[in-house]
Amino acid sequence: MENLKENLNDQQLEAVTETEGYVRVIAGAGSGKTKALTQRYAYIVDALGINTSNILCVTFTNKAAQEMRKRVKKLVGTNSDLSYITTYHGFCVRVLREDINKIAYPKNFIIMDVEDQKTVLRQVYAERGLTSKVFTFKQVLRYISKQKSTQEYLRYILESKKQETDNEIEKIFRRYLEKQQRNFALDFDDLLNFTLYLFINNPDVLEKWQKRLHYIQVDETQDSSQKQFMLIELLSQYHKNLFVVGDPDQTIYEWRGAKPEILVDFDKQFPESKTIIMNQNYRSTPNILSLGNHIIKNNKIRVDKDMFTENPKGVDVVHFHAQNDYEEGLWVANEIKRLLSEENCTYSDVAILYRANHISRSIEQSLIRENIPYSVFGGIRFFERKEIKDVLAYLRLIQFEDDFSFLRIVNTPSRGLGKKFLESVAKIADQQNTSLYTALKDNLKHRELSRKGAIEFVQLIEKYKKEKIDFIVSDLVKAVMDESGLTSYYRTDGDTDRLDNIKELQNSIILLETQDEAPIDLMEYLQEIALYTDMDIEDDSNDRIKLMTIHTSKGLEFPFVFLCGFTEGILPSAMAIKERRAKAIEEERRLTYVAITRAEKAFYMTESEGYNFSLGTSKYPSRFLFEISDNYYVSKGELSQEIIKAAKAQLKSDTTQQLIQKKFEVGDIVHHQIWKEGKVIAVNDVKGEYQIEFLEIGKTKPITYEFKGLTKVEGSSEPTGDDKNKKTDLEEDWTALIEEKDRKRGSQLLKNDEEEQPPANKNEKGNSKQSKEKDNNLWSRLKDLWS
Ligand SMILES: Nc1ncnc2c1ncn2[C@@H]1O[C@H](COP(=O)(O)OP(=O)(O)OP(=O)(O)O)[C@@H](O)[C@H]1O
């Protein structure tokens, strides 16, 4: 047992041995959170003698769960059942496999991933004669997920409460639900919803699970959604041993529902809870850590905590500004070579991080050129991505008429040329001993080949075979993409990543064209590119540089880290800012913080000038770079005053900050586009939100400053000076209305509580008045969330 306490600092030791009750650990980057969580689990097993099947440990990703099981196995031996070290979804699958029959669904349900969802949608589209011009799959999948945030759809599936609708997207959704039901399939949203529904409607099942799970631990709590955490809260209500750990500064999934408030306000929700702050960093040098601290301080929504480290000072953080992305990639490759020769490190000690996948293109090209082995962690190499291969296949077919390219694109996008058609082409090619393309071109009148799609395809290729000399390659790519239908194929599929990658490819060709004195032709380009698409760099060694997005790097650490593409519009992402405004800026800053704090010995930030084809603007360094004082890093490369001036001017015109101005004051009566009249009862400048008490629904809701569907009801301002004690007519009406509504609601709530209380806990703790109130509160919050 003593070995479980070894090498822990005081806070870590406390986290490991405080096993009873509600405990929160706010653990900064590199503070040994994973280590503490793992040792705590082992301590509960080894020192307390608890069976692993009574401990639930929820992690955020499958990768983290695997890693944790591996580490726990080392500590507690190999015979234990570690299947309750899992993700939220993994746990829900366990519950449903055991008990889903209680809500009349079979235990052998199947789980649908996104591809399966698209297959179902394809069927629905075919039945209804729809095309992606009406709705893209991405739009429908978003709609489905949104609808699944309410309980209504569960009634549709499980209680067959069906109603008519005229709304087309709703019709698609309902057909999707019917198909799901017929196949007893559950998508990822369902796993959590079905589990909550099962527990809410079957108190005996909930009680069984509550009793089974004596100890519950949650990792990366800052990234849990409200519903996920409610599941945990429900489960913890019997034994009341809940341990949550996380770092609000590393919340990077707010865009998909993470609620860092769960961790931040844990002490308010559980006043009897204990908080442990772990702020000693063991990973990074002081130079790296102070850069991280310095950047994250600019965020408003956070628990203030400065991390410290006793590690030796180490080398300076470096910023490199390149004249173009070719130079940026080359500099990174050369610096890696220098590290390998001077720092006695291996390739796998180095990680290259970026915000968006397409950034990897220029880096990958320089690594290949310089013969540096690499792998793309959790992703695909740039030149192996489907969309890139498709575009290059068109170019190759135009140049070489080869069979590989032909097979890849003859039916991409779909021209109705299926398997049978291809068999006919292959047969004729065999008989005439020619390539597939030539066989098709020469036999378009043949009964089996004479199809509209085939004729148009051949016309397209022939046209560009003739015209290719008139085009520079970058224009040729654009023309072929547009005319072949590839552009609209990727646009309607709605996967913006793919379009960004194609733009990145065009970008690289333009760069090549502007660098070379003489224009390159298609043949030359394809020869150049063959270097990157041939996989001769593959070798069996595992010693490789790792390339990955910042999101993928979460929880990992590397001695040497490069953050590439530190460019405004990429980090912070222009798309995220467009969608989520000021909130996105904070999340993007946290992403930068995550990237910095992955580094142990050295951290580099690089960016380059040029043109951003995705945004259609010039490239400037990230606004975050300008937030860092000069003494935190050394600058390399030539960053001119003009670029700095232009970058700052561009930032000034950014409207993000203006949009978060507060428009209403406490006491104002406002009109909400859905919930009608409400009164502002509090404002929170830090979070940028109002608390508004809505009359019609009888609830108080947090509404962001940015929300446009809110207008002030005239004459409703808070009285000032002498008028302070006088109430306006409007206010008096308002108060009377609220009192009336409260009277009605009060009697209704009493009734509901009698009907829907969870089973009374038989242990002492569960019977206290305080916990009963809290439990009831949880039920009403759950109802709120799903109403
Ligand atoms: N008490 C300690 N003594 C020495 N090294 C430690 C101690 N605690 C943790 N470490 C080391 O510090 C590094 C960071 O630990 P860990 O990965 O557990 O941090 P973390 O809090 O999960 O980080 P992050 O949230 O940033 O991913 C690891 O290399 C770990 O071995």
Pair 580, 693 in one domain: no
Question: What atom of ligand 1 comes closest to residue 37's alpha carbon?
Answer: 18
193 CB contacts (<8 Å, ≥6 apart)? Answer: 148, 151, 154, 227
Kindly state the tokens that stand for 99.
Answer: 């008990």
Farthest-apart Cα atoms in the chain, separation: 100
pLDDT of residue 398: 92
**Which of 68, 283, 310, 561 maximizes ligand 1 atoms within 8 Å of its Cβ, making it the mutation to test the pocket?**
283
Kindly give the distance from the C-alpha atom of residue 31 to the centroid of ligand 1, in angstroms, as a whole number.
5
pLDDT of residue 140: 86
Pair 169, 237 in one domain: no
Q: Which CATH number fits the domain that encloses residue 512? A: 1.10.486.10
pLDDT of residue 722: 45
CA distance linking residue 612 with residue 569, whole number of Å: 9
Question: What atom of ligand 1 comes closest to residue 12's alpha carbon?
Answer: 1
Beta-bridge partner residues of 318:
604, 634
The residues annotated with a catalytic role in the active site are 33-34, 219-220, 250, 598
Pair 559, 611 in one domain: yes
Q: Which of 506, 533, 560 is the last residue of a domain?
A: 533
Pair 78, 214 in one domain: yes
Pair 207, 276 in one domain: yes
Binding region: 27-34
Strands (E), 501-567: 545-549, 558-563
Q: Report the candidate in 241, 205, 270 with the shortest Cα–Cα distance to residue 50.
A: 241
Which residue stretches of 22-136 are H helix? 33-46, 62-76, 88-99, 114-128
**Nearest protein Cα to ligand 1, atom 14:** 30
Q: Which residue matches tokens 């069906």?
A: 162
pLDDT of residue 726: 47
Q: Which residue matches tokens 């870590």?
A: 12
Sign of the torsion angle spanned by Cα atoms 662, 663, 665, 668: negative
Pair 419, 482 in one domain: yes
- Whether residue 563 is contained in a domain is answered as yes
Pair 148, 217 in one domain: no
> What Rg do the C-alpha atoms of the chain give, in angstroms?
30
Pair 523, 427 in one domain: yes
**Which of 31, 70, 280 maximizes ligand 1 atoms within 8 Å of its Cβ, making it the mutation to test the pocket?**
31
Which residue stretches of 569-728 are H helix? 574-596, 623-627, 641-652
Pair 75, 218 in one domain: yes
Binding region for ATP: 27-34
Ligand 1 pocket by Cβ (under 6 Å):
7-9, 12, 27, 29-35, 247, 250, 282-283, 555, 557, 597
**Nearest protein Cα to ligand 1, atom 26:** 29
Q: How many domains does the chain contain in total?
A: 5
Instruction: State how far Cα 456 lies from the chain centre.
Output: 40
Question: What atom of ligand 1 comes closest to residue 29's alpha carbon?
Answer: 26
- Whether residue 738 is contained in a domain is answered as yes
- Whether residue 78 is contained in a domain is answered as yes
**Is the Cβ–Cβ distance between 492 and 118 less than 8 Å?**
no
ipTM exceeding the 0.90 mark: yes
Pair 76, 214 in one domain: yes
pLDDT of residue 534: 55
Strands (E), 481-633: 545-549, 558-563, 599-608, 611-612, 617-618
Q: Which of 183, 206, 233 is the last residue of a domain?
A: 183
- Whether residue 104 is contained in a domain is answered as no
CA distance linking residue 90 with residue 154, whole number of Å: 20
pLDDT averages per 10-residue partition of the chain, 787 residues: 75 94 93 91 91 92 84 82 89 92 86 81 82 78 84 75 77 87 86 92 94 95 90 94 93 82 87 92 94 90 81 92 93 95 92 92 90 84 85 91 88 86 90 90 87 91 85 86 86 71 83 70 81 56 87 91 95 82 86 96 95 78 91 90 86 59 84 86 75 84 80 65 47 54 45 35 41 59 61
**Nearest protein Cα to ligand 1, atom 29:** 283
CA distance linking residue 97 with residue 303, whole number of Å: 39
pTM: 0.75
Question: What atom of ligand 1 comes closest to residue 554's alpha carbon?
Answer: 27
Q: Which of 253, 280, 307 is the last residue of a domain?
A: 280
Which helix (H) or strand (E) segment holds residue 334: the answer is helix 325-342
Q: Which CATH number fits the domain that encloses residue 668? A: 2.30.30.140
- Whether residue 755 is contained in a domain is answered as no
**Three-state SS letters, 364-383:** HHHHHHCCCCEEECCCCCHH
Full residue range of the structural domain in which residue 120 is found: 110-183
- Say how many C-beta atoms besides its own lie within 10 A of residue 426's C-beta: 14
CA distance linking residue 52 with residue 41, whole number of Å: 9
Kindly state the tokens that stand for 211.
Answer: 């009793």
Kindly state the tokens that stand for 612.
Answer: 């951003």
pLDDT of residue 77: 78
Q: For the chain, count helices (H), then strands (E).
A: 31, 22
Instruction: State how far Cα 558 lies from the chain centre.
Output: 22
CA distance linking residue 126 with residue 656, whole number of Å: 42
**Nearest protein Cα to ligand 1, atom 3:** 7
Pair 411, 523 in one domain: yes
- Whether residue 754 is contained in a domain is answered as no
Kindly give the distance from the C-alpha atom of residue 40 to the centroid of ligand 1, in angstroms, as a whole number.
14
Q: Which backbone phi and psi does 140 adopt, to 5 degrees?
A: -65, -40
List, as one string, the DSSP characters of 257-310: TB-THHHHTHHHHSTT-EEEEE-B-SSS-HHHHHHHHHHHTT-SSS-----B--
**Is the Cβ–Cβ distance between 281 and 2 less than 8 Å?**
no
Q: Which CATH number fits the domain that encloses residue 557? A: 3.40.50.300
Pair 61, 202 in one domain: yes
pLDDT of residue 737: 53
Q: Which backbone phi and psi does 86 adopt, to 5 degrees?
A: -155, 180
Q: Report the candidate in 86, 82, 106 with the shortest Cα–Cα distance to residue 96.
A: 106
- Whether residue 291 is contained in a domain is answered as no
